[in-house]
Chain A
Amino acid sequence: MYALREAIAAFRRAPVLTGLASAMVGLALYVVGLFGLATYNLQLALSSVEERVEVAVYLRDDARQSEIDLLLTELAAIPEVRSVRFVSKRDALERARVELPEFGALFTDLEVNPLPQSLEVELRPGSRSPDIVERVSEAALLYPFVEDARYGREWVDKLFTLRRLGAATTAVLGSAFALVAALIIGTALRIAIFARREEIYVMRLVGATNGFIRRPFLLEGAIAGLLGGVIAWALTYGTYRGVYTYLFEVTWMPDSWVALALAAGCLFGAFSSLLAIRRHLEDL
């Protein structure tokens, strides 16, 4: 109770200092928030491209239905495979007419349907890496009635290189931004605590326990962190609305990310205060 009262009183006594600390925390977290927004949208874009990764298994015209069913069952039994769909020669031609209307004339006067029957293998999310795709296509190629299995190797390779690059960039830049934010938040709270060193000194002088001294500062750090988080959220959301309205379509981050960032700001504020006050507790 005392801790909460003192933490609130600290904001009242030195509104400029604590306000500045919160604003610094807010600006530091804003950069992290913008990075989160960019990362999330990049992830979404890559995922939507990745969803199109599938293996097309082309079958010989003389493949028997029982053989095709057997292959379909075998491929569907692979854990990474989500679904296997049979596309008959007629279906393939129909699809070609719909998807390629500019060649409409070519597809109308055919005596023989040149398109092969096939199996379209869709993979589970997270199982669309080049290795897995290649393994599935090799499994299909073992069957003598399979003419070919294609998945656009170069395209998949590039996609996954891009994904790895994205993950590495996220890790490196994200860590750098988080570290910078951590340093700024730590410094802001250190300044706020330094301004109250006299109080800490008196508390030590008259026999307050370390836990008792720490608590209001921990709470104050947590409140400053939370306030900073709210400021960062407001700034990031404002930027998102601006970009969405005037530049291009972007998607807002999931609520869980926002909640996590607010909780992280809160925890980090408390942790920074804990570190900053430790030195003062050892002084006397």
Chain B
Amino acid sequence: MIKLTNVSREYPKRGYALRDVSFHLKKGEFAFLTGHSGSGKSTTMRLVHMSDRPTDGEVRVTGFSSEKVTQRHIWRVRRRVGIVFQDFRLLPGRTAQENVAFVLEVTGTPRAAIASRAQRLLSQVGLSTKAGAYVNELSGGEQQRVAIARALANDPLVLLADEPTGNLDDRATRGVLDLFWDINARGMAVLMATHDLELVRRYPHARVFELDHGELVFDSAEG
């Protein structure tokens, strides 16, 4: 599902953000990507989302290779990979329903099906009663749920979450994590970047990758 083979990312001024990283996340797996700030978590997420390309090695995501997919056809990858961020990145001035419907509309869902599908997605994340609320009226946890509903709109095969609980309190964090586990239980691979080791310890069944100074120093599947 996600396969990194000897991946390095070097920036002209910063030097190496990632160096020779390899791992393979299979279909239906749940993994945490951990490490301190600046360890290369966000760079890895960007490479998997193909918002950035490696300077060496290959990233394969849902069958697409970073060596072959062009910028013009990047949308094919994006429809198979959902993503959520720490800062939610919702459209302000629109309701929860409109934020989800927007994705469905711009990815070609028939107009007649959009409203009901958006409502169903919001129900999945436990926000059916807040569909008509503007996103700035929602709590952080609720906004993150809208972002998750939006990420699921295209029925992706993989869900990426870049520090999704960074702005949430403990209760909202647990709610979001429970939601990720539900989604994962339905067969979707989940890769979540977090610096919160306490949180990682709460889910001992999840696979854990640890990055340090851009290098993969631990993979729980390999002991």
Which residues of A line the B interface, CB within 8 A? 2, 13, 198-199, 201-210, 212-213, 282, 284
Contacts and interface: CB of A to CB of B under 8 A. Distances in A.
A284 B154 CA distance: 19
B220 to A, nearest CB: 29
Interface residues of A: mostly helix, strand, loop or mixed? helix
Given A205-B83, A207-B154, 20 more contacts: A2-B105, A13-B93, A198-B89, A199-B102, A201-B89, A202-B89, A203-B106, A205-B78, A206-B78, A206-B79, A206-B103, A206-B107, A206-B151, A206-B153, A208-B75, A208-B106, A210-B75, A212-B108, A213-B106, A282-B71
A-B pairs with the 9 shortest C-beta distances? A207-B78, A207-B79, A208-B106, A207-B75, A206-B103, A203-B106, A209-B75, A284-B51, A207-B107
A210 B73 CA distance: 9
Contacts of A209: 75
Contacts of B105: 2
A207 B76 contact: yes
A199 B75 CA distance: 15
B68 interface: no
B72 A210 contact: yes
A280 to B, nearest CB: 13
Contact of A205 (B72, B89, B108): B89
Contact of A199 (B72, B91, B107): B91
Interface in B98-148: 102-103, 105-108
B150 interface: yes
Contacts of B75: 204, 207-210
B89 A206 contact: no
B25 to A, nearest CB: 20
B94 to A, nearest CB: 9
Which of A201, A210, A213, A282 is most buried by chain B, counting CB atoms within 10 A of its CB? A210
A213 B78 CA distance: 14
A205 B156 CA distance: 13
Nearest to A209: B75
11 contacts: A198-B89, A199-B91, A199-B102, A204-B74, A205-B89, A206-B78, A206-B103, A206-B107, A207-B76, A210-B75, A213-B106
A193 to B, nearest CB: 15
Contacts of B89: 198, 201-202, 205
B102 A202 contact: yes
